[in-house]
């Protein structure tokens, strides 16, 4: 008998217009929430792609496969699960240090629920990303 994974998404990908810069940004930022590089493909002048996660490639940053300009999705954002409020602050601090644009300081988000705590920034390409804590570590223990 096989148990189902506790996730619904296999992965998500965002485009970048400067792969080396985006790769370095996320390589420095995502360890604040416990993620690491899982895979990397870099064919200079062709395509660049890097995948982050804890055990499998969940979040990809890449040059668009159609070789067109990467654009930001209006209304789209990507939330990374932080295991503490301190990790949310570490994500915020590191993102700003790396050149991200602030888009919502760390703090409670009562509109999203009493337990919700997060922050929002825009990455170097303008993608909206978030680190959020909602007691999630308790859900995944044991």
Q: DSSP string covering 18-73, please? A: -HHHHHHHHHHHGGGGT-EEEEEEEETTTEEEEEEESSS--EEEE--TT-SPP-PP
Domain membership flag for residue 43? yes
Average pLDDT rounded to a whole number, residues 30-46: 89
Predicted local distance difference test score (pLDDT) of residue 21: 96
Predicted local distance difference test score (pLDDT) of residue 141: 47
The pLDDT of residue 5 is above 80: no
Domain membership flag for residue 7? no
Return the bridge partners of 102, or none. Answer: 121
Q: What's the rounded Cα separation, in Å, for the pair 132 and 128? A: 13
Domain membership flag for residue 130? yes
The pLDDT of residue 137 is above 90: no
pLDDT band at residue 2 under the 50/70/90 scheme? low
The pLDDT of residue 92 is above 90: yes
**Greater model confidence, 114 or 36:** 36
The mean of the pLDDT values for the chain is 90
Domain membership flag for residue 6? no
Predicted local distance difference test score (pLDDT) of residue 1: 56
Residue 19: CATH number of its domain: 3.10.180.10
Average pLDDT rounded to a whole number, residues 104-119: 94
Predicted local distance difference test score (pLDDT) of residue 65: 85
Specify the 3-state DSSP secondary structure of 80: strand
Domains of the chain: total: 1
Domain membership flag for residue 21? yes
């Amino acid at each position: 008998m096989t148990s189902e994974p506790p996730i619904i998404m296999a992965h998500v990908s965002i485009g970048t217009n400067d792969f080396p810069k985006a790769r370095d940004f996320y390589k420095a930022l995502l360890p604040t929430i416990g993620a690491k590089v899982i895979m990397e493909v870099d064919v200079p002048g062709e395509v660049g792609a890097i995948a982050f996660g804890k055990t499998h490639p969940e979040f990809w940053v890449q040059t668009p496969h159609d070789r067109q300009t990467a654009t930001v999705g209006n209304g789209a954002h990507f939330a990374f699960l932080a295991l503490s409020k301190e990790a949310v602050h570490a994500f915020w601090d590191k993102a700003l240090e790396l050149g991200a644009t602030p888009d919502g300081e760390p703090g409670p988000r009562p509109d999203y629920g009493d337990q919700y705590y997060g922050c929002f920034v825009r990455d170097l390409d303008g993608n909206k990303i978030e680190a959020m804590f909602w007691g999630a570590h308790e859900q995944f223990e044991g």
